[in-house]
Amino acid sequence: MEHHTRTTIIQSGIKIRRERALPQSGEVGTGVGNDVTPNLVVARMPLETHFAIVDASEILDVPPEKVTDYVIVEKEAIVDVGTVLAQKKQLFRSRQVLAPAEGLLFDVFNGRIVVQQTSEWLERRAMVSGRVVSYVGDRGVIIETYGTLIQGVWGSGMENFGKLKVATRSNTGFLTKDQVSGDVASLVLVAGRVDHLEVLQLADEKGIAGIVAGSMPAELCEAALTLHYPVILTEGIGKQNMSPAIFSLLQKADGRETSLFGSYEQSRGQRPEIIIPESATPASEAVTANKPVRLGQTVRLLRAPYAGQSGKIIKIYTLSQIVATGAKAQGVDVQLADGNVAFVPFANFDVII
């Protein structure tokens, strides 16, 4: 009988594809085959729309049905205030119709030129370096990149990117005020744990790009929702240290461009993600998260007394075993890094892939 449990992707040198799309139709700003940088706007849509109408027939002194003969800007072209929309050349003086507002030329109707103004835009930036491989209708694009993908457990809902800086010496280290007191603007800071609100607030004042930590107390997670940068926890809410496997990958990526995607929906299986692009050819395709439990797999333990520790599955039980509480549960034997073997119920670990 196959058993499936929660999985966490922690992989380097793989192909990664991510959708960057608007919730509804908009303008796609780049094409298939184009390279993108994190800050590039790949799609946008107006949040609030107004229309500015100018009587071109009167200005040009021509019948309404003749106005289109003098329009020199294509429909749906973006215009600035003062852009010449239509022009009638005469011997001594030309008559011009100027755009009354910034926007796009929406239509020419009954002798009038309509400019669609946009006061605010909802934008989707690429957020990761890569190449556009396909469209998502007229809502956005799918970007392909190569590099490291690390799935987190909790995220504060925001997105950002910056150069990675490992702030603590080990996966058990705490992020301190001293570590965020220097020139940390636009950096993604990595620490084993965060346990002080003052550290988060100071980092906000310094303009950091984000924080990746093993865990934080629940009250700090609530505070993180009000910050101007994303926070991603790799282990969860509480007092767990960062997984040694994750910390090791982040150490190797120190100084590289890193993208944080702090939004997630557990009901859809969507996890917070850390993506670190690299220029090398990928060693493998993107991994599949839904894999059955197998001997030799690396797992991360989620409950005390082994929470945060990793090890390898050395035995899978077909019958339920008695646990410390006296209850029975199905599970596996895991050999930990220190050589000890622990029985772990299926609900108490996730598979690292």
Kindly report the CATH number assigned to the domain that includes residue 96: 2.40.50
Q: How many domains does the chain have?
A: 3
What is the structure's pLDDT at 298?
A: 87
The per-residue pLDDT for 324 is: 78
273 shares a domain with 154: yes
Pair 170, 68 in one domain: no
Kindly report the CATH number assigned to the domain that includes residue 347. 2.30.30
pLDDT digits (tens, 9 = 90+) for 39-83: 999 999 888 778 999 999 999 999 999 999 999 999 989 899 999
Domain boundary among 243, 277, 311: 277
Residue 239 to residues 216, 228, 302, 336: CA-CA distances in angstroms?
6, 24, 12, 20
Q: Is 238 part of any domain?
A: yes
pLDDT of residue 38: 97
For residue 282, pLDDT over 60 is answered with no
- Segment of 27-36, 111-120, 306-315, 329-338 carrying the highest mean pLDDT: 27-36
Q: Is residue 179 part of a domain?
A: yes
Cβ pair 287, 148 in contact under 8 A: no
Buried residues in 149-185 as b, exposed as e (16+ CB within 10 A): bbbbbbbbebbbbbebbbbbeebbbbbbeebbeeebe
Do 157 and 266 fall into the same domain? Answer: yes
Mean pLDDT of all residues in the chain? Answer: 90
Residue 68 belongs to some domain of the structure: yes
The domain spanning residue 265 has which CATH number? 3.50.30.10
Geometric angle at alpha carbon 201, from 198 and 206, rounded to 5°: 120
Rg (CA), the chain: 27
Give the residue among 141, 145, 146 at the shortest CA–CA distance from 32: 141
Asked if the structure places residue 323 within a domain, the reply is yes
What domain range includes position 215? 7-11+146-277
Quick one: 168 and 99 in the same domain?
no
Last-in-domain residue among 277, 311, 333: 277
DSSP character string of 116-158: EEEEEEEEEE--S-EEEEEEETTTEEEEEEEEEEEE-SEE-S-
Q: Could you tell me which of 243, 256, 299, 270 has the C-alpha nearest to residue 147?
A: 256
Same domain, 187 and 269: yes
Rounded CA-CA distance 346/5 in Å is: 6
Q: Are residues 267 and 198 in the same domain?
A: yes
The answer to whether the beta carbons of residues 10 and 32 sit under 8 Å apart is no
Q: What are phi and psi of 20, to 5 degrees?
A: -125, 100
- Regarding whether 104 and 217 lie in a shared domain, the answer is no
Label residue 97 by pLDDT band (50, 70, 90): very high
Final residue belonging to a domain, choices 82, 105, 121:
121
> Considering the domain boundaries, does residue 140 fall inside one?
no
Do 165 and 213 belong together in one domain? yes
One domain for residues 273 and 153: yes
Q: Say yes or no: 175 and 254 in one domain.
A: yes
17 found inside a domain:
no
Please check the confidence at residue 283 and state whether its pLDDT lies above 60: no
Residues 167 and 244 in one domain: yes
Residue 35 in any domain: the answer is no
Same domain, 102 and 219: no
Cα distances from 21 to residues 125, 230, 261, in angstroms, run 9, 20, 14
Query: Band of the pLDDT at 267, cuts 50, 70, 90?
Result: low
Asked whether residue 84 is assigned to any structural domain, the reply reads yes
